[in-house]
Amino acid sequence: MSDRALGVTFSVPYEIAAVRQLRQTSLQDREHALQACGYNCELLPQDAIYIDLSTDSGVSALSTAQIAAGSGTEAVEPAMGMATEASRAFASLSTQYRKFFGFPYLVPTTQGRAAERIWAKIHVKPGTVVPGNMLFPSTRMHIESNGGKVIDVIADGAHNLQSEDPFKGNLDIEKLGALFREHGRQKVSCIYVELSVNACGGHPVSLGNLKKVKALAVTNGVPLFLDACRILENSYLIRQREAGYHDRSIREIVFETCESADGCTMSAMKDFLVPMGGMIGSRDPVTFQKATVQSFLDGAQPPASAMQMISTALDEIVAEDAYVTSRVEQVNYLWRRLRERVPLVHPPAGHAVYVDLAAFLPHIAPENHRAEALAAFLYYVSGIRVTKGAPPAPAQAARGVELLRLAVPARKYVQGHIDDVAEALLYAYAHRHEIKGLKQVEDPQRGKYQPSHFEPL
């Protein structure tokens, strides 16, 4: 994790300034906790958890400067309403946003899904199609609820879990061209590209691929939008893996990535290390105005404190490469510790390590909830929590691909934690034959949207 370019070993560019005490639990405590939550680790109480790898979203550690920005008097100002320019927090975030991402117009929101909801409402017309690369369920849902149909044009390599292809998030340019020929450009609302594609293993999209997608978008007169919530990690992997970018700074790669797009939606709760916030970036003043009005109507405007915290984070984490280096290298370290023995998705990604469940638990049938079964076993033996997470993309479900994500929250865990995760996973794999499938408990008292309860088979 060192940055030798600085002439020193400078692995982690921050120190711990405040900590939260963790409760140590016994095997018996954890057995009771599992019984109480119906073997569904999503329902575990937070104070029964040692290391939480269920998400990297909204759970990273804040810096002292972020806490000051979010709680200081600067953050006390009235809600923006329609007078966005009058907000000091908005003005400061807009300046930062233009500086780092280059989009002239910013609409801040409460979360990524709020940004997608607004953006899809403006851009997706009923009866049209939206080509994408295994888009996140919230993006897909907002496109579909506006009458659009998402068509997956991710390259087939994304389905090969073992290959070392460095850019499995890339779109298949042939498939994209064929989609335009089949549907005609009028039937395509926009192209949506997710960076660091979460569904298939956090795999990055290369700049070379993005530029080819942009060229097709321009030829067909269709806008190209990014889901850029993991743009920092995508940029780091571009610098590591794409010819021509090894000597470029993360900040330059982030900027060049945005240059290829007409707009973007992003959750700020992942790469930008805040507990609340999302952003829409636009180059078009008309859609910017529409999105501003829509965010006001939807009640999707963030408070000043959230905007101040994002502004502060941008200086700390985009301006210098050291942060993202330590972030991604910590995830890579976990991947390297496991790869010899545990069936993982290859190559490593920026925010999570993904376990191939069919290879890990071949003795458990898919209908017996392999993800929940492994999560419950892991929690029982170690206190570490992982959860099933978002459902697989339709193309993965059709192929029977099932992954369990170990999402590493940024800046939160030290090497000792990561070593404990590795030991627990290695133990679980060595004892995999002891892991039994689960069956869902039919309970008429639980509503259909409540997380399920299970019992061991």
112: contact with ligand F0G by CB under 6 A: yes
Q: Which is closer to ligand F0G, CB of 139 or CB of 146?
A: 139
CB atoms within 10 A of CB 109: 29
Indicate whether 269 belongs to the interface with ligand F0G (CB under 6 A).
Answer: yes
- Spell out a b/e string for 77-99, using b for 16 or more CB atoms within 10 Å of the CB, else e: beebeeebeebebbebbbebbee
Q: How far, in Å, CA of 346 to CA of 325, rounded? A: 19
CB closer to ligand F0G, 267 vs 311: 267
Looking only at residues 348 through 377 of this chain, which bind ligand F0G when binding is defined by CB under 6 A?
Answer: none
Stretch that binds ligand F0G, among 91-99, 133-141, 308-316, 355-363 (CB under 6 A): 133-141
Residue closer to ligand F0G, measured from CB, 361 or 393? 393
Residue 267 touching ligand F0G (CB under 6 A): yes
194 near ligand F0G, rule: CB under 6 A: yes
Cβ 218 to ligand F0G shortest distance, Å: 25
The residue among 229 and 250 lying less far from ligand F0G, judged by its C-beta, is 229
DSSP-assigned letters across all residues of 86-107: G-HHHHHHHHHHHHHH--SEEE
Q: How many residues does the structure list for the chain? A: 457
Number of residues counted as binding ligand F0G (CB under 6 A)? 15
Q: Read off the amino acid at residue 426.
A: L
CB atoms within 10 A of CB 23: 11
Q: Does 138 engage in binding with ligand F0G (CB under 6 A)?
A: yes
Contact status: 136 vs ligand F0G (CB under 6 A): yes
Structure tokens at 98: 């233009």
Residue 40 interacts with ligand F0G (CB under 6 A): yes or no: no
Site residues (CB under 6 A) for ligand F0G, limited to 225-244: 227, 229
**Which residue in this structure is represented by tokens 């200086």?**
315
Buried b / exposed e over 297-316, threshold 16 CB at 10 Å, is eeebbbbbbbbbbbbbbbeb
Listing DSSP states for 189-253 in one string gives --EEEESSBGGGTSB---HHHHHHHHHHHHHHT--EEEE-TTHHHHHHHHHHHSTT-TTS-HHHH
Q: Which is nearer to ligand F0G, 114 or 322 (CB)?
A: 114
Which H or E run includes 130?
strand 129-132
Comparison of 203 and 290: residue with beta carbon closer to ligand F0G:
203
- Minimum distance between the CB of residue 184 and ligand F0G, rounded to whole angstroms? 29
302 is an interface residue for ligand F0G by CB under 6 A: no
The site for ligand F0G (CB under 6 A) is made up of: 55, 57, 111-113, 136, 138-139, 194, 198, 227, 229, 267, 269, 278
